[in-house]
Amino acid sequence: MKDQDVPAFWQRLGVPGLIDIHVHFMPQRVMDKVWAYFDAAGPLTQHDWPIHYRWPEDKRLAHLRELGLRAFPSLVYAHKPDMAAWLNEWAIAFASDKPDVIPTATFFPEPGVASYVDGVLRDGARLFKAHVQVGGYDPRDALLDDVWGRLAEAAVPVVVHVGSGPSPGEFTGPGPFGEVLRRHPSLTAVVAHMGMPEYDAFLDFAERFDNVYVDTTMCFVDFFGDQTEVARKLAPRLRGLQSKVLFGSDYPNIPHEYAHQLEVLERLELGDAWLRSVCWGNAISLLGAEVVPR
């Protein structure tokens, strides 16, 4: 499948377009640093990582809309103190004149974190991102306990990168975030990349906790080699979790065409009803129909 085929894909499914839960837009100087990280990622990932959509911001936005994306976030994330609050200001402003961009925010374990999270919730944030792998922080940090509690109470989802891919960190894997969920069992969490490579443990969380979901970001793509066996093993569980799986792409920081993520989901052979849920219905249920501009 090529990008030019994407509109035909969702039209065949009978949905109004696509909702992608895992898209990144950031201040350009931050995006440049992210791209530099991937440029140098070979020793960590055992792969060169060419950014397929290393384009100006306006072109990146236009391409998503041409594909038929009806709603998507600008997932920002902090990897050090004194970064999250100004990223949140940027992200809320970025979404303010773009009805199809879901207002997004982030946080980091630092003094004042609960206060600025409260503030950005009042400003309309509908989705948060926490990147434990890049941030290198412990999600069980006492400074974050009130934050997880506030997000749980507000029923605002947080996309959490807590799996150990593309390279493990001190606090990645199911152990630390599992303790967060035990403290805050009503937290609405979307496990990025399906928890890759600890798929089974994170799918356990989605089965055990009412408000834990997984996204498909970079799962089963050919970039990581033959994924046939992984897909075969996980497909039955993903069928059972039909209402808990959300489409995600990692656009623009991907080493392949956008369409390939849809292609590999179709290869699972879980049927059109499953694809409709993953590519549209589950995001509407999670975020509300109002995230899609009329």
Decide if pLDDT at 169 tops 90.
Answer: no
Query: Could you report the per-residue pLDDT of 66-94, keeping only the tens digit for each?
Result: 999 999 999 999 999 999 999 999 999 99
Decide if pLDDT at 42 tops 60.
Answer: no
For 18, phi then psi, to 5°, come to: -125, 150
Tell me what the mean pLDDT of segment 234-259 comes to: 97
Per-domain boundaries in the chain: 3-289
pTM above 0.75, yes or no: yes
Query: Could you report the per-residue pLDDT of 11-29, keeping only the tens digit for each?
Result: 999 999 999 999 999 999 9
Tell me what the mean pLDDT of segment 35-52 comes to: 77
For a pLDDT cut of 70, what percent of the chain falls above it?
Answer: 98
**Residue 60: per-residue pLDDT:** 98
The CATH class of 3-289 is alpha beta
